[in-house]
Structure 1
Amino acid sequence: MHDVVIVGAGPVGLTLACELGLAGCSVLVLERESGLGSPLRAAPLGRRGLSAASVEAFYRRGLLEPLLTASGDQEVFGAAPGARAPSRPRLGGHFAGMMLDGAQVDVAALPFRLPGPALESVMTDLEAVETVLSEQAAKLGVDIRRDVTVSAVSQNGESVVARAGADAYEARWLVGCDGGRSTVRRLTGFEFAGTEPQFTGYTMQATLADPEKLRPGFHLTPTGMYIRMPAHGYFAMMDFDGGAFDRSQPPTRGHLQAVLRRVSGTDVTIDEVHITSTFTDRAMQTTAYQRGRVLLAGDAAHIHSPLGGQGLNTGIGDAMNLGWKLAATVRGCAPDGLLDTYAVERHPIGAAVLDWSRAQVATMRPEPYAQAIQAVVRDLIATRDGATYVFERLSGSWIRYDLGGEHPLVGRSAPDFCLEDGTRLGDLMEDGRGVVLDFSIDRRLRTPAAGWEGRIRYAAGAARNDLGSGAVLVRPDGVVAWAGDRHPDGEAFEQAASRWFGGPAAA
């Protein structure tokens, strides 16, 4: 029997598998697809932007350089690999197709950010992400089995069983990371609630007879939106038909041409369609993230429009949050209620992302009221404060969990503190443990992490910039659990360490 069975070997399932494998758990991943290669997952249709929060996750596990190599993108949107100085975002992103000017973003105003190799964002594709994570999972002893379609799930108080044909796979826990049409979600009775779609979206790689009729980039029009990336022959359109066409029938060249003409307001002609897919802005979320010994993460727990690239990044955030908590539960060293904090922390994030998506769709609607809103939004995002606000949402830097305490760092993703000897927080997190950074001059002979060996790493030294803190306790997912202005051996520190890592006597 495995400790955890994960259904779905996409980026979310593989991220979770790596986190569990890093903690020494026995992990089996079941994937219905037979292999990694797929035109829909490679560039250009599989092209995705990783937010600063996701880039930080790869960086903290030593996977950023392999990801950049696999992506063919040798530069982070803030610093080249190995660089230690920030710069402005290379791309600003967009809200409802209205482009953000990266030069307007006030990088200095982003909350508690420090220069580092993972300052901003990375362009990649799903195939590159999955390749890097699959290789890391294999190194950690994770068993990945492909061409396995789960058809039934049952559980009792001690274990859960996933069945695929005549085969049965038993584990102490099961996590559904099997996408927006999750079989695990359906089989285990999670309630899925939300709003129905306003549009059918299309992505395609195609050749035009008259490409000069379409301008490159993102274009919000009175009848929808279209995107053209000439270097890749990539096109996307959003057609406000109430989602009627999505998956109803194969999109023919004639249909795609009609949609492109209607949305773009031109008489452009498509010569050849090489590959295409459809999607909608349906926005749904499960009311709970756990039922018994079954949990959900990523699109299995929440779906929405891909506008702004929030889905992949939200899913990676789910996996990073859940991984160390489930691992501690498996090992028997989790404090009471630790696993419950996964849904407490991540469900509101998912709900906020759905609303961000809905706001974009409402702004894009082909009607006078929406077009009036567009004019207001364009004015706002052209300002420094407006551009910075939108970039905070796109980058994930807005996220702060309510962990209690008054220190403004608590609940946020930890800045990449750098000690005077050059050691960075990211360097200390590759093994998946928590970290105590002690910047105080008053260092004691007994390290404050002495009661939590194997769970918390201790590092001391003056920092190049400590942001006014004397010490910080960072969870394995990179979130600040405690921060103070002096040496971390007081009652507040011990309470925070026990809350997240169990009592100091636990093994």
Structure 2
Amino acid sequence: MNTSHHVIVAGAGPVGLLLACELALAGCSVLTLEKAEDPHSPLKQLPFGIRGLSAPSIEVLHRRGLLDQMEVPKRLQNPFTGKRTRQAGHFAGIPFEFDNIDMSRWPTDLPLSLLSEMAELEAVLTRRALELGVEIRRGAGITGFEQDSDGVTVYAAGQSARAGWLVGCDGGRSVVRKQGGFEFAGTEPEFTGYSAKVDFLDADLLAPGRVVTERGMYFQSQPGYLNLQDFDDGAFHQTGAPVTREHLQAVLRRISGIEVTIAALHVATTWTDRARQATQYRNGRILLAGDAAHIHAPLGGQGLNLGIGDAMNLGWKLAATIHGEAPADLLDSYHAERHTIGAKVLDWSRAQVAVMRPTPEGRALNAIFRDLMNTRDGATYFAGRVWGVDELTG
């Protein structure tokens, strides 16, 4: 890794790969460094890997000729497009109905929302990046870097590489952000979320659908695929301890109030509603995008779409700066534009948590939101926010 590139991108997730593609399309040489040696993971595959694509993301993928390469959106029964099923989406687990939405506000030939799979999206973007000449190094997580007035020297996998710019797309625990002098401001979590694949001995004891109790929430998206929210202030997630069958069973029993038995635990992960955002997306020749710049609860699937927007906004501006075609302040507009949108998404996530709290106040808010979302104006508002259509129409 001793050759020089225009840009080094840290992270080969969807955001890093899309940014690399955009830079390569604009004639920039790009090296992508990824910590994981193997991109495959059961958590990226259905159903854990399901991700909603909003209208701006769909337009981006369509414009770049990538949407047609994705089979999962064609295969999955999607409640948001095609057949008009009753539920069109949800906010804090509260559904809004398709028939209540004023669709005349958003005339478009493209779907307003699609379901995708993280594994397939990464595979499609990886293939395109390689076709465009992007160099991808796996098993090469960044360990450090030094910037000067001419560029950045990056250290990874015992070697060094030199580039004009470094962009951190390396996730919520971003090394680039932590070592790059960025402040990460925000709020601490209220719950630990669990996603797991299990075998039950007595699954019929659990009520179907999303069930909110005085102690949290449990939900089976399909048999054996379990989601929990335990309002423990994120305590278990922050321990970093592995999720055992015994622990998950104890949490489920406490939340549900049912002595259900988990016979086997196949895979599990935890997450929280911690909501933080870098106060600046640029520090000299170092920039942030995606989860490296902002983290929040994965409620409503806003994180992937927010990162795709970051990549599209940053890609052409950084390329123009590299080629000497940009005004001096163009790159600074990346932070000005995307930070504002990111802050709105973080507040959207926080609002959902407030409505989901298993408290008298939370239940009161939940009832009010249900009434609002059952009106035409309410359903149309929530659809516009969830689908990202208002971002397209301004």
Counterpart amino acid of 1:3? H
1:204 maps to 2:207: no
Corresponding letter in the other structure for 1:60: R
Structure 1, residues 251-278: CA drift from partner, whole Å, max 9, x if none? Answer: 2112111212222332222111110000
* 1:21-58 Cα distance to aligned partner (Å, 9 max, x none): 11111011000101221111111222211112211111
Q: How does 1:244-255 map to 2 (within 5 A)?
A: 244-248=235-239, 249-255=241-247
Change (3 A) 1:137 1:8: same
Deviation at 1:104, TM superposition (A): 1.9
C-alpha RMSD over aligned residues: 1.8
Write the distance in 1 (CA, Å) between the matches of 2:115 and 2:78.
8
Q: Deviation digits for residues 377-408 of structure 1, max 9, x if unmatched?
A: 111111111111111111112226xxxxxxxx
| Structure 2 segments unaligned to the other structure (5+ residues) | none
CA distance in 2 between counterparts of 1:184 and 1:348 reads 21
Q: 1:91 to 1:376 in 2, by over 3 A?
A: closer
Q: Residues 289 and 295 of structure 1 are in contact (CA less than 8 Å); yes or no, is this contact kept in structure 2?
A: yes
- Does 2:146 align with 1:154? yes
Work out the number of aligned pairs and report it. Answer: 390
Task: Confirm whether residue 310 of structure 1 aligns to residue 302 of structure 2.
Answer: yes
Q: CA deviation at 1:364?
A: 1.2
1:75–1:59 distance in 2 versus 1, CA, 3 Å: farther
SS in 2 for 1:307: coil
2:142 match: secondary structure = coil
Aligned twin of 1:386: 378
Match of 1:223 among 211, 215, 234: 215
- Contact 2:167–2:289, Cα closer than 8 Å, also in 1: yes
What CA distance in whole angstroms lies between the structure 2 residues aligned with 1:270 and 1:328?
55
Q: Does 1:73 find its partner at 2:75?
A: yes
C-alpha contact 2:172 2:294 (8 A) present in aligned 1: yes
Q: Secondary structure at the match of 1:386?
A: helix
- How far residue 90 of structure 1 moved from its aligned partner, in angstroms, is 8.2
Say which is worse superposed, 373-382 or 204-213, in terms of deviation: 204-213
DSSP 3-state at the match of 1:175? strand
Please tell me whether residue 108 in structure 1 is matched to residue 104 in structure 2. Answer: yes
**Structure 1 position 217, deviation (Å):** 3.0
Cα 1:321/1:76, change in 2 over 3 Å: farther
2: CA distance, partners of 1:51 / 1:214:
32
Output the amino acid matched with 2:97. Answer: D
- 1:238 and 2:234 are equivalent in the alignment: no
Q: Partner letter of residue 43 of structure 1?
A: L
- Separation in 2, partners of 1:92, 1:157: 50
SS in 2 for 1:321: helix
Give TM-score scaled by structure 2 length.
0.94
Give the deviation of 1:97 after TM superposition: 1.4
Structure 1 residue 321: Cα displacement: 0.9
Find 1:343's aligned residue among 335, 347, 352: 335
Q: Which residue of 2 aligns with 1:363?
A: 355
Question: 1: distance between equivalents of 2:213 and 2:294?
Answer: 28
Q: Helix, strand or coil: the match of 1:43?
A: coil
Paired residue for 1:44, among 47, 52, 55? 47
Q: For 1:275-305, what per-residue CA distance to the aligned partner results, in whole angstroms no more than 9, with x for missing partners?
A: 0000010000010000000000000000011
Change beyond 3 A, Cα 1:214–1:108: farther
Is 1:21 matched up with 2:13? no
Structure with the bigger RCO (C-alpha within 8 Å, sep 6+) is 2
Over the matched positions of the two proteins, sequence identity in percent amounts to: 53
Matches within 5 A, 1:104-503: 104-109=100-105, 113-116=106-109, 118-230=110-222, 233-248=224-239, 249-399=241-391, 412=394
